[in-house]
Amino acid sequence: MSYSHDAIGNVISRHDSNTFLNEVFAYDDLNRLSTVTRTQGTTALGVESYLYDPWGNLLAKPGLSGIGYQTKETQCSTSAQPGPHALSRATIAGVAKQYCYDLAGNQTETRAGATLERQISYTAADQVKEIKSYAAGAPFNTKF
């Protein structure tokens, strides 16, 4: 894998000599990723575009839609209002997800509709203490 960078360190291209996959990255005036163009050998694989709102929040990217910020979602068990740049909802691969936060701004839950997918608990110093994942049905816990 080889990489090229611009003068300020942004990756502008990546080449995988094993698969012949080439990627070219472009950035907007604020150095946020704006497009990724992919080719494999001489075959064009497509262009992905990324859009942002005036505050820098991601609005659009491939595979992601229905993005919302700073909205308390109705499925959340916590009563905290997310901060101004906190992702509160997104549709990923056709699944509507909600993201919930505590009063300190820590993400506490991820839900797909009413289904709890992940719970995160924190120490008094706002450090992650435990992550419970329910994606496979039975909870999988990671403790820190």
The tens digit of pLDDT for each residue in 118-137 reads 999 999 999 999 999 987 66
136 and 122 within one domain: yes
57 in the same domain as 118:
yes
Q: Give yes or no: residues 76 and 5 share one domain.
A: no
| Same domain? 76 vs 130 | yes
What are the tens digits of pLDDT across the range 59-70? 888 877 777 776
One domain for residues 21 and 80: no
Q: Residue 12 belongs to what domain range?
A: 1-49
Claim to verify: residue 118 and residue 69 sit in the same structural domain: yes
User: Do residues 8 and 30 share a domain?
Assistant: yes
pTM here is 0.64
- Sign of the dihedral defined by the CA atoms of residues 123, 126, 129, 135, in that order: positive
Q: pLDDT tens across 8-47, in order?
A: 999 999 999 999 999 999 999 999 999 999 999 999 999 9
Query: Do 65 and 131 share a domain, yes or no?
Result: yes
| pLDDT tops 70 at residue 111 | yes
Say yes or no: 21 and 81 in one domain: no
Are residues 23 and 89 both part of a single domain? no
By the 8 A CB rule, do 43 and 30 touch?
A: no
Q: Are residues 41 and 60 in the same domain?
A: no
Sheet containing 11-16: which strands, arranged edge to edge? Answer: 2-5, 11-16, 21-27, 33-40, 43-49
Same domain, 63 and 43: no
Count the residues in the chain: 144
Whole-number pLDDT of residue 43: 95
Number of H helices, E strands in the chain: 0, 14
Least confident of 81-95, 96-110, 122-136: 81-95
Question: How far is Cα 71 from Cα 108, in angstroms, rounded to an integer?
Answer: 15
Q: How many domains does the chain have?
A: 2
With pLDDT > 90 as the criterion, what percentage of the chain qualifies?
A: 52
State how far the Cα of 109 lies from the Cα of 116, in Å rounded to an integer.
Answer: 7
